[in-house]
Amino acid sequence: MTRDMTNRIAANIRLLAFGERGLLVQFEETEKTPAIRAVSALNQQLLALKLRGLISTTPSYASLLVTFEPAAISGDRLSTIISELFQSPSSDFVNAGSEVDQACWQLPTLFVDERDEDACELQEELGLSWDRVVATFCNATYRVNAIGFLPGFTYLGGLSDALQCRRLEVPKSRIPASSVAIAGNQAGIYPMDSPGGWRVLGRLPFAIFEPTRPSPVLFSPHDQVTFISVSASYFNELLASAEHGELRLDDFKQ
């Protein structure tokens, strides 16, 4: 497989070489939601094959990155397998994507005080009171669109038009782990302490990325998420339970 290989395997789908150990399946669609569903469906079908030499798959908005071990499976062979999936009579990935497994989460969130720096700037930019910002944010249902740029960073689609805002001109040197934040037309959850340019709304009382868990990343693409505003006292109770390993995260699934 040559490094500059590009195959069009369907009218709106391309398969590109990604270095020596990767293939990128790229969906050329203008609307994000159908592409996301198609990516999720292809990811599930590819993983179900349990191919020897398949190292990992990384779903994103409109693409799926597949990494492999060339000594176990060649790039050409993997390319052929992916192409055959699309040529199968049952390979309507866009429609199949609407049926992928998904979890529905209700996440307890301690929102920052209205005098917090991000809160003050958001109120000024959006022309809304802080109570209105929180209520609008909590009234929406979000979809996990992708996981990245940090391990477990959760990109959420579904942010209300009323809350769409600019990124920080100067990123913060540290945004705490489990922070819930917004920027542009997305919401997101930080998996660990990190620099960042998103505006922080609040925080969850538990880790969304934990390397020691059987599944280190809590959320999966296509999961549904809603946020519930909780009091500081209840948040601290949950936080203490999480720190002692006594919090059942499945309790936050509907």
- The answer to whether residues 115 and 55 belong to one domain is no
- Cβ pair 181, 175 in contact under 8 A: yes
Provide the CATH number for the domain around residue 183. 2.40.100.10
Partners of residue 13 on adjacent β-strands: 10, 27
Provide the pLDDT for residue 43: 84
- The answer to whether residues 113 and 236 belong to one domain is yes
- The answer to whether residues 232 and 168 belong to one domain is yes
Query: The pTM is what?
Result: 0.71
- The answer to whether residues 152 and 26 belong to one domain is no
| Beta pairing, strands 142-147 & 104-111 | unpaired
- The answer to whether residues 135 and 241 belong to one domain is yes
- Cβ pair 185, 159 in contact under 8 A: yes
Whether residue 133 is contained in a domain is answered as yes
Q: Can you give the residue range of the structural domain that contains 199?
A: 104-252
Whether residue 1 is contained in a domain is answered as no
- The answer to whether residues 124 and 84 belong to one domain is no
Provide the pLDDT for residue 104: 95
Provide the pLDDT for residue 65: 87
Domain-ending residue, one of 99, 122, 155: 99
The number of folded domains in the chain is 2
Using DSSP's 3-state secondary structure scheme, residue 147 falls into strand
- The answer to whether residues 149 and 241 belong to one domain is yes
In tens digits, what is the pLDDT along the chain, a chain of 254 residues? 434 455 665 667 888 888 888 898 888 765 555 677 778 788 888 888 999 999 888 877 778 889 999 999 999 999 999 988 887 755 555 454 444 567 999 999 999 999 999 999 999 999 999 999 999 999 999 998 888 778 889 999 999 999 999 999 899 999 999 999 999 999 999 999 999 999 999 999 999 999 888 778 899 877 899 999 999 999 999 999 999 999 999 999 98
Provide the CATH number for the domain around residue 42. 3.30.1360.40
- The answer to whether residues 50 and 159 belong to one domain is no
The number of helices, as runs of H, and strands, as runs of E, in the chain is: 6, 14
- The answer to whether residues 91 and 111 belong to one domain is no
Using DSSP's 3-state secondary structure scheme, residue 38 falls into helix
Task: Give, for 47, the enclosing helix (H) or strand (E).
Answer: helix 32-48
| CB-side neighbour CA atoms (13 Å) of 39 | 31
- The answer to whether residues 167 and 237 belong to one domain is yes
Residue 25 burial class via C-beta count within 10 angstroms: exposed 0-12, middle 13-18, buried 19 and up? buried
For residue 7, the one-letter residue type is N
Task: Give, for 54, the enclosing helix (H) or strand (E).
Answer: strand 54-59
Domain-ending residue, one of 73, 99, 125: 99
Rounded Cα gap, residues 36 and 26, in angstroms: 11
- The answer to whether residues 22 and 53 belong to one domain is yes
- The answer to whether residues 82 and 117 belong to one domain is no
Domain-ending residue, one of 71, 99, 127: 99
Provide the pLDDT for residue 230: 98
